[in-house]
Structure 1
Amino acid sequence: MTPRQRRITLVVGILAGVSLAGVLALNAFRDNVMFFFDPSQVAAGEAPIEKRFRLGGMVRPGTVDRRAGSLDMSFVVTDFKQDVKVVYSGVVPDLFRENQGVVAHGRLGRDGIFVADEILAKHDENYMPPEVARAIKEKHGGVMPVNPDHAGPPKT
């Protein structure tokens, strides 16, 4: 082989190797990405069925149902326009409660019920996960709806 043919072979080999590495990296990344959806997007059919994603919103008051003697529970996540029922079996964070922000990781069943395998709650009474705040704000024309439990000056 001439020096030119060796260089061309080397360049083609390097390009093939880099291309293969890129394809493998993108494939691994695609399988591990978890998208975020709010209840309105789920109700509109934008969320995938039986694929993992994050569901975020507020826990609707009066919907938390804990089964006695079990770690099983259900509740409703809302963005104040649509609701999604969530079922979960496990220990919930200490900060989980009604009328507070929550992000649930899991899958949407064909029956429209979100089966969560992880629940994340807000950090303090003024915190809302950024994705939840953004989604709720978009649904209400750029204005956050007032949460009646947190309206007005701080309670002493």
Structure 2
Amino acid sequence: MKPRHKRFALIVGGLVILALVATLVLNAFQSNLVFFFSPTQVAAGEAPKGKSFRIGGMVKEGSLQRSADGVTLRFVVTDTDKEMTVAYKGILPDLFREGKGVVAQGKLGDDGVFVAGEVLAKHDENYMPPEAAKAVGDAHERAAANRAAADAAARTLKP
């Protein structure tokens, strides 16, 4: 083999190896990619079916229900616009409380209940995940716009 052919073979072999490594890295990245959705987005059908994602918001007051085994529980996550029931089997973080921010990772069940494999709670009094804070803010803006539209409609109906 001529030196020119050897060099060409090494370059082609290097490119094949580089392509294989890039494919493996992108595949690993894609399988570990988890998106965040608010309860409003899930209710609108924006969440993926059969794939893992995160849902966040506030734990609704009075919604925490523990089963007899003490490890299986259900609670409601809300962004003040829509609500979603979350089922979780495991030990909750120490900072998990009703009325506080939470992010849960899992899949949406066929019955519309979010089955969480992991629950994350906020870490201090002032923290809320940025995605959850944005979802709550968006829900407040939509509610204010709806109230303003209803008030305007009521004013036009009065004689």
Name 1:147's counterpart in structure 2: none
Residue identity (%):
56
- Paired residues for 1:1-156 under 5 Å: 1-141=1-141
Question: Would you say the 8 A contact 1:50–1:110 is kept in 2?
Answer: no
Question: Would you say the 8 A contact 1:88–1:115 is kept in 2?
Answer: yes
Unaligned runs of 5+ in 1: 143-156
Give 1:71's aligned amino acid.
V
How far the C-alpha of 1:141 sits from its partner, in A, is 4.2
Q: Does the residue aligned with 1:56 lie in a helix, a strand or coil?
A: strand
Question: Would you say the 8 A contact 1:87–1:116 is kept in 2?
Answer: yes
d(CA) in 1 for partners of 2:112 and 2:76?
Answer: 12
**Structure having the larger proportion of residues in helix:** 2
Structure-2 change in CA distance of 1:138 and 1:2 (3 Å): farther
String of CA shifts for 1:34-79, please: whole Å, max 9, x gaps. Answer: 1111111111111122321111111111211122442111111111
TM-score (norm 1): 0.83
Q: CA-atom RMSD, angstroms? A: 1.7
Name 1:148's counterpart in structure 2: none
String of CA shifts for 1:12-46, please: whole Å, max 9, x gaps. Answer: 11111100110011111111121111111111111
d(CA) in 2 for partners of 1:6 and 1:124?
Answer: 62
Aligned length: 142
Q: Does the residue aligned with 1:99 lie in a helix, a strand or coil?
A: coil
Show structure 1 runs of 4+ deviating over 4 A: none
Give 1:75's aligned amino acid.
F
Give 1:103's aligned amino acid.
V
Between 109-118 and 44-53, the greater mean CA deviation after superposition: 44-53
TM-score (norm 2): 0.81
d(CA) in 2 for partners of 1:92 and 1:68?
Answer: 16
Rg larger in structure? 2
d(CA) in 1 for partners of 2:104 and 2:77?
Answer: 9
